[in-house]
């Protein structure tokens, strides 16, 4: 590539990226996942549009895997442990047992209705059975749902990529004429891969968090790079150890995102940017790989498979997975209905559709086109109806108000940290005098920014909504400072006398 050709590529890429960023606004207004607009951009500049040719399915698969790693890393870093902790068991069952049920039901329906062979039918079922993290995070985080319900859907979308990839690879081998292994052997292999992925992800996240907390990096911009490197490294390490790299990435990012790391908000912001860039690049590439002239010929097959998946397979997987749970973890009938309808598909099925295509499995030549049409059509149907359905079922909640933002920056050799606090609209820090904070010894409020001006507060200075407050604390007292600020923010100046101390997981 010459420098002139590079300039053309960069010009086209920057134009596509700007259009994709502007498309997010349209997506937010309509309730549609932005992935559909990105696919449209890919189709527009592809072979039947502006004439950009891209037909390398193997390259698309590799790029897709890389993009999914970044998307899962962003999802883990921005998922609150307090949201998914109580529902981790049902979400894990839904992402494993539910995936198996969905694969079987779609496989049977595809075989009976479309007449495809059993191996290919089950392969199709496995490809479309995974809900998509990008679609779930982009759509459901704008729908006010109970924390429990949001936690189930987010954890499921983050966890189910791993078992689905294992199933697709195994079924691709069988459908391609490979030797069929005993079912128990496949289950044992899947369990081993998931165990290795879990160990690498949790262990890597824990070790990385300790390392980043102990070492003060010279620039705040280095922390996001280190966190993303740890999440991506977890994928590579687990994959080389024959474990589930996707599971390792999500769990590593989940641990890091819920640890008291310096510059946590800045890290999440960079991770979100990387996630958006990965989504844009992935869906535009998949749109380029598709041929619009072929798509009308697969609409009927896509509708049949999509109806079986949405109307039969997804509800069956939800019922089988969640009905056995009792007590606090049991879902109400309204929640089961919503979970059945909220199984959004997106990049994962389309990327996985390239696996049998690259392997040259007979009978799967049209699979990529079928899955692409299925994702587009059923996302158009499901996504805009989620918020009205939540209201109709009586499970919608008022949008939460941000109460307190806490950001930490280390002072390196001074063995101290600067804790930056923003007093939100719903925070009970409003009206509290500085001395009433009763911060631990070794911590002090040093600066307050209010209405565009800054000043050094005194003990009787009253904090107000919208204030930016800087607290300097010794590294050993920083955790206690954060906990105390959160307690006062939730319960007011008498926190600690009339209310028990807050939990560490409550810090956002």
User: d(Cα 428, Cα 488) in Å, to the nearest integer?
Assistant: 7
C-alpha 400: how far from chain center: 20
Helix and strand tally (H, E) in the chain? 21, 5
The listed range with the strongest mean pLDDT (193-207, 260-274, 454-468) is 193-207
Look at residue 80 in the predicted model and tell me its pLDDT: 81
User: Do 488 and 428 touch, CB atoms closer than 8 A?
Assistant: yes
Q: Is the pLDDT of residue 230 over 90?
A: yes
C-alpha 393: how far from chain center: 25
User: Do 170 and 107 touch, CB atoms closer than 8 A?
Assistant: no
Tens-place pLDDT, residues 341-389:
988 887 788 889 989 988 888 877 788 889 999 998 988 888 888 888 8
Look at residue 405 in the predicted model and tell me its pLDDT: 63
Which percentage of the chain shows pLDDT scores above 70?
88
Q: Token pair of 475, please?
A: 């590294």
Look at residue 329 in the predicted model and tell me its pLDDT: 52
Q: Which of 110, 12, 58 is nearest to 307 (CA)?
A: 110
Q: Is the pLDDT of residue 401 over 50?
A: no
Q: At what angle do helices 333-341 and 314-322 cross, to 10 degrees?
A: 140
User: d(Cα 187, Cα 189) in Å, to the nearest integer?
Assistant: 5
User: Do 159 and 250 touch, CB atoms closer than 8 A?
Assistant: yes
User: d(Cα 394, Cα 318) in Å, to the nearest integer?
Assistant: 19
Tens-place pLDDT, residues 476-497:
787 888 888 888 888 887 776 5
Q: Band the pLDDT of 254: cuts 50, 70, 90.
A: very high
Look at residue 505 in the predicted model and tell me its pLDDT: 36
CB burial of residue 265 (10 Å; 0-12, 13-18, 19+): middle
Q: Is the pLDDT of residue 30 over 70?
A: no
Q: Band the pLDDT of 330: cuts 50, 70, 90.
A: low
Question: Strand 468-474 vs strand 416-423: parallel, antiparallel, or unpaired?
Answer: antiparallel
Which listed CATH number (1.20.1530.20, 3.30.930.10, 1.10.1510.10, 3.40.190.10) goes with 3-392? Answer: 1.20.1530.20
Better pLDDT: 469 or 266:
469
- What is the torsion angle, in degrees rounded to the nearest 10, for the CA atoms of residue 453, residue 457, residue 460 and residue 464? 40
Helices (H), 407-477: none
Better pLDDT: 90 or 263:
90
3-state SS assignment for residue 408: strand
User: d(Cα 197, Cα 244) in Å, to the nearest integer?
Assistant: 5
Q: What is the mean pLDDT of residues 274-300?
A: 86
Q: Is the pLDDT of residue 508 over 60?
A: no
Tokens 């696919």 identify what position?
39
Q: Band the pLDDT of 126: cuts 50, 70, 90.
A: very high
Complete DSSP assignment for 36-86 = HHHHHHHHHHSTTTT------HHHHHHHHHHHHHHHHHHHHHHS-HHHHGG
Q: What is the mean pLDDT of residues 13-33?
A: 74
- What is the torsion angle, in degrees rounded to the nearest 10, for the CA atoms of residue 164, residue 171, residue 239 and residue 203? 40
pTM given for the model? 0.75
- Alpha-carbon distances, residue 305 vs 113, 126, 294 (angstroms): 9, 12, 18
User: d(Cα 58, Cα 355) in Å, to the nearest integer?
Assistant: 8
User: d(Cα 96, Cα 506) in Å, to the nearest integer?
Assistant: 29
Q: How many beta carbons lie within 10 A of that of residue 125, not counting itself?
A: 29
Q: What is the mean pLDDT of residues 78-88?
A: 81
User: d(Cα 219, Cα 262) in Å, to the nearest integer?
Assistant: 11
Tens-place pLDDT, residues 47-68:
777 777 777 888 888 988 898 8
Tokens 């996302």 identify what position?
379
Phi and psi of 220, rounded to 5°? -65, -25
Look at residue 32 in the predicted model and tell me its pLDDT: 63
3-392 and 404-506: same fold? no
| Residue ranges per structural domain of the chain | 3-392, 404-506
Length in residues, the chain: 508
Look at residue 2 in the predicted model and tell me its pLDDT: 83
Look at residue 403 in the predicted model and tell me its pLDDT: 56
User: Do 350 and 372 touch, CB atoms closer than 8 A?
Assistant: yes
Which percentage of the chain shows pLDDT scores above 90?
20
Give me the sign of the Cα torsion angle 155, 107, 279, 237.
Answer: positive
Q: What is the mean pLDDT of residues 399-418?
A: 61
Query: Which residues, other chains included, contact 113 with Cβ-Cβ below 8 Å and sequence gap of 6+?
Result: 304, 308
Q: Band the pLDDT of 200: cuts 50, 70, 90.
A: very high
User: d(Cα 247, Cα 163) in Å, to the nearest integer?
Assistant: 9
- CATH topology classification for 404-506: Alpha-Beta Plaits (3.30.70)
Q: Label residue 451 left, alpha or beta by phi (over 0 means left) and psi (-120 to 50 means alpha).
A: left
């Amino acid at each position: 590539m010459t420098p002139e050709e590079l300039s053309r590529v960069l010009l086209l890429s920057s134009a596509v990226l700007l259009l994709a960023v502007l498309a997010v606004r349209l997506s937010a207004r309509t309730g549609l996942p932005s992935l559909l607009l990105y696919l449209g951009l890919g189709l527009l500049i592809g072979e039947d549009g502006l004439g950009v040719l891209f037909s390398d399915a193997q390259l698309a698969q590799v790029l897709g895997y890389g993009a999914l790693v970044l998307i899962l890393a962003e999802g883990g870093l921005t998922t609150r442990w307090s949201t998914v902790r109580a529902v981790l068991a049902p979400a894990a069952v839904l992402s494993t047992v539910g995936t198996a049920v969905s694969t079987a039901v779609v496989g049977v329906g595809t075989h009976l209705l479309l007449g495809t062979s059993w191996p290919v039918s089950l392969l199709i079922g496995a490809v479309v059975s995974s809900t998509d993290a990008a679609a779930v995070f982009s759509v459901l985080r704008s729908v006010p749902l109970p924390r429990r319900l949001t936690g189930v859907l987010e954890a499921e979308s983050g966890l189910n990529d791993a078992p689905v990839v294992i199933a697709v690879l195994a079924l691709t081998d069988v459908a391609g004429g490979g030797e069929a292994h005993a079912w128990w052997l496949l289950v044992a292999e899947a369990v081993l891969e998931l165990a290795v992925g879990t160990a690498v992800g949790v262990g890597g996240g824990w070790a990385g968090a300790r390392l980043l907390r102990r070492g003060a990096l010279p620039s705040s911009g280095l922390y996001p790079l280190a966190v993303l490197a740890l999440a991506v490294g977890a994928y590579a390490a687990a994959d080389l150890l024959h474990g589930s790299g996707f599971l390792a990435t999500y769990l590593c990012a989940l641990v890091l995102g819920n640890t008291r790391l310096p510059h946590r908000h800045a890290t999440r912001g960079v991770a979100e940017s990387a996630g958006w860039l990965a989504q844009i690049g992935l869906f535009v590439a998949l749109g380029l790989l598709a041929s619009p002239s072929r798509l009308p010929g697969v609409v009927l097959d896509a509708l049949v498979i999509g109806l079986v998946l949405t109307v039969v397979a997804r509800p069956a997987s939800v019922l089988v997975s969640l009905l056995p749970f009792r007590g606090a973890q049991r879902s109400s009938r309204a929640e089961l209905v919503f979970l059945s309808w909220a199984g959004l598909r997106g990049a994962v099925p389309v990327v996985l559709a390239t696996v049998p295509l690259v392997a040259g499995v007979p009978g799967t030549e049209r699979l990529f086109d079928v899955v692409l049409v299925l994702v587009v059509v059923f996302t158009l149907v499901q996504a805009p109806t989620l918020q009205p359905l939540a209201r109709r079922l009586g499970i919608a909640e008022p949008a939460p108000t941000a109460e307190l933002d806490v950001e930490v920056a280390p002072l390196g050799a001074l063995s101290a940290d600067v804790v930056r606090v923003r007093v939100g609209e719903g925070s009970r820090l409003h009206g509290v005098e500085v001395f009433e904070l009763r911060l631990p010894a070794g911590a002090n409020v040093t600066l307050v920014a209010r209405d565009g001006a800054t000043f050094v507060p005194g003990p009787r200075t009253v904090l107000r909504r919208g204030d930016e407050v800087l607290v300097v604390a010794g590294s050993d007292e920083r955790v206690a400072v954060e906990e105390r600020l959160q307690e006062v923010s939730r319960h007011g100046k008498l926190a600690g006398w009339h209310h028990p101390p807050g939990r560490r997981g409550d810090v956002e």
